[in-house]
Amino acid sequence: MSADAPTRWLITGAAGMLGRDLAEVLAEAGADVTALTRAELDITDADAVRAAVDGHDVVVNAAAWTDVDGAETEEAAATRINGDGPRALAAACAATGAVLLQVSTDYVFPGDATEPYPHDAPTSPVNAYGRSKLAGEEAVLELLPERGYVVRTAWLYGAHGRNFVATMLSLAAQRETLDVVDDQRGQPTWTRALACQLRDLGAAAVRGEAPAGVYHGTASETATWCDLARATFELTGLDPERVRPTTSEKFVRPARRPSFSVLAHERWAEAGVAVQPHWREQLTEALKVMAPGAGPAPVEGGRSGA
């Protein structure tokens, strides 16, 4: 690629919540983008992957098995997509010289910390989904030590898929009160904010300004699921007291969830890329798209309640 040529991007999993936002963000930036859905590219098909990667400078893998509970009984299938798929992409990128951004998860950690996990903290997944995603991380870092980037994220929500915020908006119209878990802490992250960060990281990588390796792509500051639900109600003009705190014991799931999903952001400075905004700032912007027309009720003097 010549110095003045546009960067050519390939997005896998382009029909997903993150993939769609990333395609929009890159298009708005005038990038040359190929966006392939699961139906258009099976990332576990090595031959198809090699053909798709050829001619691109940056590959973002947003394709994944995302059924956390389902992975408990179908771990081999989950690992094929989340582990073997990234390995095939990394091998193709190694052959062509492309940069690979592999989207991963906080679930590679046990979730028992009391301080934010740094990028080099020991991994120890507590469920099958986490193990499958860790396999993908290891493949990328092994095959692309100088052009492989693992971006761990967590608590994603957005306009283009099923997610917690969308569920809260739906349930708000169906139930008077909601019981929401208040003993799990994380960083609610809007997919568009992550997409912008991936765009900037990919550009820095192509310029040779971003060290390869692991980054943590989540919102600044922390919240519980109950905090997020209450903020969603408040910011759409509903009474946040309708959301009642409860414990994880009230919602037993097949896959164990980490209770502490807070990731540290220290590596972004090395890449010259900004950390993401505060989670509440992200939610405020996201709700303009996810719940258009909704907002805090006006009060005397035209000010809105907080």
Q: Distance between CA atoms of 115 and 151, rounded to whole angstroms?
A: 19
Q: Single out the catalytic residue among 117, 129, 149, 157.
A: 129
CB atoms within 10 A of CB 270: 14
Exposed e or buried b per residue across 124-147, where buried means at least 16 C-beta atoms within 10 angstroms of its C-beta: ebbbbbbbbbbbbbbbbbebbeeb
CB 188 within 8 A of CB 155: yes
3-state secondary structure 242-283: HEEEECHHHCCCCCCCCCECCECCCCHHHHCCCCCCEHHHHH
- Residue 156 token pair: 């994603």
Q: Do residues 12 and 90 touch, judged by C-beta distance below 8 A? A: no
Q: What CA–CA distance (Å, rounded) separates 97 from 118? A: 28
Q: Whole-angstrom distance between the N-terminal and C-terminal Cα of the chain?
A: 51
Comparing C-alpha atoms, which of 121, 113, 174, 190 is closest to residue 150?
121
Name the packing angle between helices 85-96 and 46-53 (round to 10°): 40
Distance CA 15, CA 24 (A): 12
Indicate if 129 belongs to the active site: yes
DSSP SS3 for 125: coil
- Give the separation between CA 139 and CA 39, rounded to whole angstroms: 23
Nearest to residue 189, comparing CAs of 148, 133, 151?
151
Question: Hey, which residues are catalytic here?
Answer: 129
